[in-house]
Amino acid sequence: MSFIDRFYEVLGTASHKALVTEIHGKTPMPTFGAELGRWVGLLRGALRHHGVVAGDRVVLVANNSARWVATDLAILGEGAIAVPLYARQAANELAGMIRDCAPRLVIAENESLAAALREALGADDASPVILMDALFGGFTPVTAPPLPRAPADPVTIIYTSGTSGEPKGVVYSVANVDFMLPVIRDAIGAMLGARREEDRVFHYLPLCFAGSRMVLWMTLYRGRGILLSTDLTNLAEEMKTAQPNYYLNVPALLERVRTGVEKKVSEKPAPIRGLWNKGKAAYLRVRQGKGSVLDQAVLAIAKRVVFEAIRKQIGANLDCLICGSAALPEETQRWFEMLGIPVYQVYGLTETTAIVTMDKPGQAIAGRVGWAIPGVEMRLGEEDELQVRGPNIFVGYWGRDEATAATRTADGWFRTGDQADLDKGGSLKLIGRVKNVLVPSSGHNVPPEPLEEKLLSMPGVEQAVVFGHARAHLVAIVTGDMDVASLEGPLEAMNAELPHYKRIRKLHVSKERLTPENGCLTANQKLKRRAIEKYFAAALEELYR
């Protein structure tokens, strides 16, 4: 039985279970198994009406919803290849990916999105763009089991961000997903332990991304429900409504939670502030094995009076948090642990079916991203590049054999492009990218070179280096005969044209140039980024202070 067969089995046995619940502010809107199954049948009939057959690509461009899930299941059931795309991405970028995979059908959430896609694709494109609404009525439902597939058959294409060039379609096979879902199921079971009731899983990240897709498919595989955010601007209220036991995060959200709590505590009466600060200091000493009897007593009081109250405000039912997409700062991970909320890190790439490593319950090491999941091997290659081998490695990039081959070593290992450290116990720590791509804590991939070019166009700037990997935002070191004040106007103008995650928040101006003599440039004048980061360590810390 493939994972697709398992999904359809769940639709048949969970008729009275809320498999997908949309959270609209204070109101949960459940879709039960019977209704979801009815939708899937209608959608399969609609796909057949539009000529979709096994092996065809079907693009889905929509925001998270129960109907998104039903459409995904219908595409899988018809033997087609699901291609989910990010609805908030620029229409011209979406059009490039649509042309690349040459779909039989493009399904858009609403008319404004459909119109933008049609305009970007142009009249000559053969891919018809239809509205999701148009698929939900007037077609003969299909009630047959899902069409059979072989383990090597492709089931979905997930496009990369394109930061190192044109986006590439990562192809997953049935075997890739069949391997991954039991691994995630077992890991989640270990993280949550024995439960008397079903766990509540909240999800706010777009389902078109690899990690999100695995979360969704894992809940269906387990025969459980998922709670979906519908409004990221109202996330705090949605979480109160959802009351989740766990959810997948990017580091930026956890850092915002931490900053918000610290701010609120700073506004509390002096006794609460004092106990909070003393409790944090005591926790640190106890954690380091240096705690005294007094520290133990202070920590016990702080936990009972302050920490537990804050923990309940963050999530009364939280058993743990799961964090991926970028490195989580050590201090943030320890801060949540102090409150009694363990944070388990997950590391992986789209090309690795989302996951390579996961933390183990009770063994998480702050600053490291866990151990290889069962069945997957890791090693370090040239420049400490992490290389991976296992059933999780993707089939290849859609229509790009040469690019696919470039991701493999001569002996068949997948090259991640990430520089890493492996300790003797197999725990992984991420250091940076072999290629110059920054991943701030928002999880976005940001190539620094285009930003550095913009900085070099400013009056007086001779050299520029952008930083921000695993940080909350980007900053830059620039050299030249000017001061920060003279660059404020040009920097503001530059940032106004950039998305939030590419904006340079602060600059440090150095009168000293980067040279081969001070170790910041190679002999042929190329930037030695890690050496520059070390050379300007104090300045960088001041920028982030």
Question: Tokens for 452?
Answer: 């550095």
539 pLDDT higher than 70: yes
Report which of residues 374 and 362 the model is more confident about: 374
Could you tell me the pLDDT band of residue 480, with boundaries at 50, 70 and 90?
Answer: confident
pLDDT at 457: 82
CB atoms within 10 A of CB 445: 17
Angle at 33 between CA 28 and CA 37, to 5 degrees: 125
- For the chain, the structural domain boundaries read 3-245, 448-544
Is the Cα torsion angle 101, 102, 103, 106 positive or negative in sign?
positive
Among candidate residues 298, 318, 315, 295, the one with its CA nearest the CA of residue 306: 298
Query: How high is the pLDDT of residue 68?
Result: 98
Relative orientation angle of helices 251-266 and 270-287, to the nearest 10 degrees: 130
Closest CA to 46 of 32, 60, 33: 60
CB 232 within 8 A of CB 26: no
Predicted confidence at residue 237, as pLDDT, reads: 94
Mean pLDDT of the chain: 92
Note the pLDDT of residue 453: 81
Q: Of 90-99, 103-112, 351-360, give the lowest mean pLDDT range.
A: 90-99
pLDDT at 538 over 70: yes
pLDDT at 197: 74
194: which 2 tokens?
A: 């024995």
Q: What percent of the chain has a predicted confidence (pLDDT) above 90?
A: 73
Single-letter code of the amino acid located at 456: L
Q: CATH topology of 3-245 equal to that of 448-544?
A: no
Which residue, chain included where needed, has tokens 């030249």?
480
What does the pLDDT average to over 442-458?
A: 85
pLDDT in tens, 313-341: 999 899 999 998 777 878 889 999 999 99
**Whole-angstrom Cα distance, residue 334 to residue 295?**
17
pLDDT the model gives residue 163: 43
Q: How far apart are CA 151 and CA 141, in angstroms?
A: 27
Would you give the DSSP letter of residue 524? T
Instruction: State the sign of the Cα–Cα–Cα–Cα dihedral 356, 358, 363, 367.
Output: positive
Alpha-carbon gap, residue 329 to 483, rounded angstroms:
31
C-alpha 401/C-alpha 516 separation (Å) is 39
Domain 3-245 of CATH type 3.40.50.12780: yes
- Token reading at 44: 């399969």
Domain 448-544 grouped into CATH 3.30.300.30: yes
Half-sphere exposure of 11 (CA within 13 A, CB side): 23
363-413 pLDDT, tens digit each:
998 889 999 999 999 999 988 899 999 999 999 999 999 999 999 999 999
Pairwise CA distance, residues 453 & 504, whole Å: 13
Rounded to an integer, what is the distance from CA 433 to the centroid of its chain? 17
Neighbour tally for 93: CB within 10 Å: 17
Helices within 53-109 (DSSP H only): 66-77, 91-101
Q: How much is the pLDDT for 46?
A: 97
Asked whether the predicted pLDDT for residue 24 surpasses 80, the reply is yes
H or E stretch covering 44? helix 33-49
Report the C-alpha gap between 454 and 436 in whole angstroms: 16
In this prediction, residues 432-451 reach a mean pLDDT of: 82
**pLDDT 10s digits, 212-253:** 999 999 999 999 999 999 998 899 899 999 999 999 988 878
Residue 386 to residue 239: CA distance in whole angstroms: 36
Confidence grade of residue 519 (pLDDT, cut at 50, 70, 90): confident
- Looking at per-residue pLDDT, the higher value among 3 and 443 belongs to 3
pTM of the model: 0.82
What is residue 106's predicted lDDT score, i.e. its pLDDT?
97
Per-residue confidence band for 110, with pLDDT thresholds at 50, 70 and 90: very high
